[in-house]
Amino acid sequence: MNFSSLLSSQYFAPLFWTQFLGAFNDNVYKNALIILVTINAASYTSISVELLIPLSGGIFILPFFLFSALAGQLADKYEKSKLIRIVKIGEINIMLMAGLGFYFENIWFLLAVLFFMGCQSSLFGPVKYSILPQHLSEEGLLKGNAIIEMGTFLAILLGTLIGGVLIMDADYGRVYISSLVISVAILGWLSSRKIPLAKSANEQLSINWNLFSETWNIISAAIKSRLIFGTIIAISWFWFIGATMLSILPLPEFTQSILHAHEQVITLLLALFSIGIGIGSIIAGRSVTLTKSIKWIVIGTIGISLSSLDLYWVCNQLLLLNSNSSGEELASWLMMFQQPLTAHILVDVLLLGAFGGLYIVPLYVILQEHSAIETRSRTIAANNITNAFFMVSSAIATMLLLDGGISLHTLFVLIGLCNIVIFSFLYWRFSPAVRKILN
């Protein structure tokens, strides 16, 4: 099975487009809201922009802590394609609420909509990954996860860019955004109607509606399996690095002080990082079996560290060069390719994404194939909770380190070194479980 046949298959294509459109919509709305808040915060509320923007991120990610355990139970108990359609109908209603929020320009209502979007995404996560093993072979599962990861990051990129461009229209920006997110939500629901049936994994499951105790239960269950717990930590570490990079690249200290470039270069950096993840994901997905794909985890880990350390070195060289030059700003992102050091940084960002793609795809397949069928969705829910925790930790760690006087480019060194330490620990602690896969 090749990638093109998988993308046109009735078992995978509807799910891919459903998740792609959902991720795209999330990021159109989130970025439009952030820009709207940044521009008009003073007229909307007395709270500062510096507080509102991280508050927005926290509001979106909070539901992953609250509702992932419930989502995992529902996905294990009920037929999955129907569950996805219900979630997508919920998205349509949420986007209709978003349209009202933009019309009345009520920031608190828009933030409430952002919370509901997080709820919808948290409910979709476990069923999205747990349905794949029911429809795909091992080879198809590798390719399917590769396409899902590639599509997710491209959707994030496109949604962020388009949301930012449309909302900047002072006269009709809110109308454009409202129309787009409602239309995309409807397209996502139409796509979900084509997803084939995926029978219940555990019809007898009794739903625990206590969100906190069930969250503890699924995390505890995941910890009991050395392989599953190690895989979850390894996946969450990827999201820690990804969240850190996506927070560093757009900062003025990086684009202006280090690259000495115009703000438009942010788009180029994010695009290269996303494209890199897509390239790495596709390469990893070309493996025929999971056993053969394990090597990509090691190669990806080494590559992430080398790319991060090299980024630090190049940034140092650029800072030295800028301190001894006239300090003229690069006129366009095209000039980034013409200067050796800035072109070097572009290559590093691309490679960092590519090695990340190599690293993450086999890990998701391990999680899917080696979790018990009757608890697979709850295992993936445990992974989503841990991912959210690591992403929040990334934001807090980045903020504290920068506030503590650590230079921005020093974060690249910390990423590279911590990546080696984390992987070494995971290899020492969990390699016996991985060897069982290889044998």
* pLDDT for res 431: 67
**Structural domain includes residue 200:** no
Tell whether 189 and 309 lie within a shared domain: no
* End residue of a domain, out of 194, 224, 255: 194
Structural domain for 419, as ranges: 216-439
pLDDT of residue 70: 93
Predicted structure pTM score: 0.87
Residues 179 and 250 in one domain: no
Cα distances (Å, whole numbers) of residue 31 to 87, 163, 164:
22, 6, 6
Residue 207 lies in a domain: no
391 and 260 in one domain? yes
Boundary-marking domain end, from 130, 163, 194 = 194
pLDDT score for 72: 92
Is the Cα dihedral 418, 419, 422, 423 positive or negative? negative
Q: Is residue 199 part of a domain?
A: no
Query: Are residues 170 and 266 located together in one domain of the fold?
Result: no
Alpha-carbon dihedral sign for residues 372, 434, 237, 164:
negative
Specify whether 241 is located in the same domain as 132: no
Same domain, 233 and 89: no
Per-position pLDDT tens, the chain of length 439: 667 778 888 888 899 999 999 999 999 998 888 888 777 655 566 666 656 667 778 888 999 999 999 999 999 999 999 999 999 999 999 999 999 998 888 888 989 999 999 999 999 989 988 888 888 877 788 888 889 989 988 998 899 889 888 988 878 889 999 999 999 999 999 999 999 888 888 888 889 999 899 999 999 998 888 888 989 999 999 999 988 888 888 777 787 778 777 767 877 888 898 899 999 999 988 876 777 778 888 899 999 999 999 999 998 888 887 766 655 555 466 677 778 888 899 999 999 999 999 999 889 888 888 888 888 999 999 999 999 999 989 888 888 888 788 888 889 999 999 999 998 888 777 666 666 655 5
pLDDT of residue 379: 92
Question: 172 and 267 share a domain?
Answer: no
Lookup: tokens for 103: 């019309």
Q: Which of 163, 194, 225 is the last residue of a domain?
A: 194
| Residue 158 lies inside a defined structural domain of this protein | yes
32 and 101 housed in the same domain: yes
Answer yes or no: do 160 and 297 share one domain: no
91: CATH: 1.20.1250.20
Do 138 and 90 fall into the same domain?
Answer: yes
Number of structural domains in the chain: 2
Please tell me whether residues 177 and 77 are part of one structural domain. yes
In-domain check, residue 315: yes
Residue 248 inside a domain? The answer is yes
Residues 174 and 239 occupy one common structural domain: no
pLDDT at 164: 85
